[in-house]
Amino acid sequence: MSRARLSDVAAAAGVSISTVSLVLNGRVARISSQTQDRVREAAASVGYTPNSVARGLRTQRTRTIGLISDRIATTPFAGRMLAGAQDVAREHGHLLFLVNTDGDADVEAEAVRALAGQQVDGMVYAAMWHRVVDAPAGLPAGTVFLDCRPSSGGFPAVVPDDRTGGRDAVRLLVEAGHRRIAYVDVDEDDPPVAAGLRHEGYLEVLADAGIEPDPALHVRQESSAAGGRAAAAALLDLPADRRPTAVFCFNDRMAAGVYVAAHRRGLDIPGDLSIVGYDDQQLVAGELDPPLTTIALPHYEMGRWATEVALGVREPPEGGRPHLMPCPIIRRDSVGPPPAAAPTPAGGEPLTTP
Amino acid sequence: MSRARLSDVAAAAGVSISTVSLVLNGRVARISSQTQDRVREAAASVGYTPNSVARGLRTQRTRTIGLISDRIATTPFAGRMLAGAQDVAREHGHLLFLVNTDGDADVEAEAVRALAGQQVDGMVYAAMWHRVVDAPAGLPAGTVFLDCRPSSGGFPAVVPDDRTGGRDAVRLLVEAGHRRIAYVDVDEDDPPVAAGLRHEGYLEVLADAGIEPDPALHVRQESSAAGGRAAAAALLDLPADRRPTAVFCFNDRMAAGVYVAAHRRGLDIPGDLSIVGYDDQQLVAGELDPPLTTIALPHYEMGRWATEVALGVREPPEGGRPHLMPCPIIRRDSVGPPPAAAPTPAGGEPLTTP
DNA sequence: CACGATTGCTCAATCGATTGAGCAGTCAAA
DNA sequence: TTTGACTGCTCAATCGATTGAGCAATCGTG
């Protein structure tokens, strides 16, 4: 038995196809309620489900949206971004086409063509780290960039507000009384945009607090637990008066390495060393001992935002600048006052947020 | 400027729509090569991309497949499964519809209807943990179950071979010389299928090696690092002669907890205690110190398998039993011989694999 | 009672492709 | 020269819905 069509419902209800279509689409202004009931009953009894392909051809709206992303496989963040996109799509009666390109330009071009061929109503182009990307050729106007900034303008985009996130992280430490705060940065040829922005946030808060930044406290390592451990080792080898009492890490993985280095030296967290991470990577931050205070990346919200803009239910900001999504502060147990040996600075006036 | 249609190409090439369609679909048996060239040039010059919606309506094949999954957001494994599905879809010129249901039955039913309405050529129903699920009503015949077993029969399914995985894990320890091997199990009302199967594998290898299982070495805790830590604490509090020299953990997170407990007691891994995990969760297993030996879950391969069956390019096994996907052994550095204080049993004969 | 407005429904074109049937024209064989 | 086969291409129906135009019956009003 093949699927029921509109004509099957029409035959069962004893009316025309047009009438069935009008009733089932709610355009019932001029249809008697008896007829409406008969049509609805007939539709239910034959188990009618509209054929979206035929409808899409006729209306030129397919109620689908395309999501192109590089490497969904290898990042723990993809899930939340997809979930945000997927939830918005569902809320608006849309279905999501997902294409994973692994960053391959040919695959990307093919995906753009295929999705255009499917007549998607909207398109989202997602990266898995905040960075600048070249828009693939043929990308339809109105494509929304998710967690990345297009190098050529004209596309709406949403990225995490890493600068404010960096400020919040460091402010947590300054407000706990720390003055010697290190930044464990990532060391790559092509550093993520986020690294620079978080560093700017770091410097801004130090400036606000009247703390002279110490270049020795800005260390770079590879973005991993091993890198964090090496960075921490270098910092903890500094002479006592130059040693940091707190560390802000580019991400939670590096923070995990800082934990290891600190524990190996018998240091207590946060008693001897306070640590703030970034990303709120559950399996890392939540299971460290003590649990890591960190800044969360708003992947779910960014996924939602991008999809809402792609669907046209939300207006992108004026001026073509990327929308900055706030990064929530996740207070756990890795921040405390500096150790007594490095006393709290006297007479600090309360910090103000510009 | 709207998209080019077949009729635009036909006009540009000075031939009929039929001819263009035949040429572009490679049915050129009776088309002169001059005409073919003209058509292809015309198609390129107007930038023609076939309208998949119209084609789908006519041919009744949409070249799409639907993937329904519960909670893609909250598991680190979803990515690899999706990547496997996505890669197969792309290799066969298909596009993937992704729906995340969060386990909600209403959303699930809605998704099934919507995907049927989109006339998908195949359907995959995925869970994020190996378990028994009730097939939602209306699921098309031939839907493939991914990482779960349908409670009612008739559907092809693929799940990890957890029993063999458990065997492999424990054999690693037995072959290193261990005789007192604990199993840190998960303690839940509705334990995952995997837990039972891995335990069976554990018991089988012990039996093969002539080791009497000690109930005190089978401990249950919640599936987290904290649970693993508590379990390890209990095991390490056992009198010396009953204490395990090796631990097989239900998963890597629990293994991470065992590390913490061991380190707190000043135990060396693997010198004093050998540990094998399960899942190969990169951010956990790979970044422990020392890196954790574990059994990987073949999510990518399962995603591929399911999608190949859904597409009809691979035959499911006879007899309707789920396909068991092998779980690779990931040898890292957390397994060694038992400490000298608990000497290797004398005269062990070589193990044989049945 | 006639006429226009309103109500309730149907006709038929349309979206953009695919494809079996069929139409000229050419060529070889009879 | 006729016939049949073959070549090269086009016609037109079709997939399953949506929708503006329009028809017939009823109603209200002057």
The whole-number mean pLDDT for each consecutive block of 10 residues of chain A, a chain of 354 residues, reads 89 96 93 95 96 97 96 81 95 96 93 96 93 90 94 92 98 97 92 92 97 96 93 96 96 94 93 97 83 96 98 92 97 95 43 38
CB contact under 8 A, A86 and B107: no
Beta sheet of A246-249, edge-to-edge order: A218-221, A181-186, A246-249, A274-276
The answer to whether residue A97 neighbours chain B at the CB level (below 8 Å) is: yes
Whether B150 and B168 map to the same domain: the answer is: no
Whether A41 and A137 map to the same domain: the answer is: no
Proximity of residue A21 CB to strand D below 7 A: yes
Range of the domain at A42: 6-50
**B36 CA → D1 C1’, Å:** 36
pLDDT tens, A211-261?
A: 999 999 999 999 998 999 999 999 999 999 999 999 999 999 999 999 989
Gyration radius (Cα) of chain B, Å: 27
Residue A276, judged by CB atoms within 10 A of its CB (0-12, 13-18, 19+), counts as buried
Residue A247 forms part of a structural domain: yes
pLDDT at B298: 97
**Regarding beta strands A329-330 and A294-295, do their DSSP bridges make them parallel or antiparallel, or are they unpaired?**
antiparallel
Whether B73 and B115 map to the same domain: the answer is: yes
Please tell me which residue lies nearest to nucleotide C18, judged from CA to C1'.
B58
Distances (CA, A) of B275 to A257, A347, B176, B251, B326: 21, 52, 11, 11, 21
Residue A319 forms part of a structural domain: yes
| Cβ-Cβ contacts under 8 Å, A87 against chain B | 100
CB contact under 8 A, B98 and A115: no
Whether B205 and B261 map to the same domain: the answer is: yes
Whether B73 and B145 map to the same domain: the answer is: yes
Cα of A338 to nearest chain B Cα, Å: 25
Residue A267 forms part of a structural domain: yes
Last residue of a domain, one of B274, B293, B312: B293
Quote the CA–CA distance of B69 and B102 in Å, as a whole number.
8
Whether B23 and B97 map to the same domain: the answer is: no
Whether B189 and B283 map to the same domain: the answer is: yes
pLDDT at A270: 95
pLDDT at B63: 97
Residue B331 forms part of a structural domain: no
Whether B202 and B139 map to the same domain: the answer is: no
pLDDT at B300: 95
| Cβ-Cβ contacts under 8 Å, A3 against chain B | 116
Residue A176 forms part of a structural domain: yes
Whether B71 and B44 map to the same domain: the answer is: no
Cβ neighbours of residue A217 under 8 Å, at least 6 residues apart? Answer: A180, A181, A182, A183, A235, A244
Residue with tokens 């395309």: A66
Nucleotide nearest to A10 (CA to C1'): C10
| Cβ-Cβ contacts under 8 Å, B107 against chain A | 90
Residue B351 forms part of a structural domain: no
CB contact under 8 A, B79 and A80: no
> Which residues, listed in sequence order, are joined to residue B184 by a DSSP beta bridge?
B219, B249
Cβ neighbours of residue A309 under 8 Å, at least 6 residues apart? Answer: A144, A156, A158, A315, A316
Count how many domains chain B has: 3
Reduced to 3 states, what is the DSSP secondary structure of residue A182? strand
The answer to whether residue B123 neighbours chain A at the CB level (below 8 Å) is: no
Whether A46 and A63 map to the same domain: the answer is: no
Residue with tokens 């934990």: A259
CB contact under 8 A, B95 and A96: no
Whether B69 and B90 map to the same domain: the answer is: yes
Quote the CA–CA distance of A193 and A324 in Å, as a whole number.
13
Residue B218 forms part of a structural domain: yes
pLDDT at B246: 98
Residue A306 forms part of a structural domain: yes
pLDDT at A288: 85
In chain A, which among 45-64 make CB contacts under 8 A with chain B?
49-54, 56-57, 62, 64
Packing angle of the helix pair A252-264, A225-236 (nearest 10 deg): 50
CATH number for the domain including A135? 3.40.50.2300
Quote the CA–CA distance of A183 and A214 in Å, as a whole number.
10
Whether B182 and B286 map to the same domain: the answer is: yes
Q: Tell me the one-letter amino acid at B99.
A: V
Q: And the tokens for A167?
A: 């400020």
Q: Report, as ranges of residue numbers, the positions in chain B whose pLDDT lies below 70.
A: 1, 341-354
**Closest residue of A to B50, CA-based?**
A117
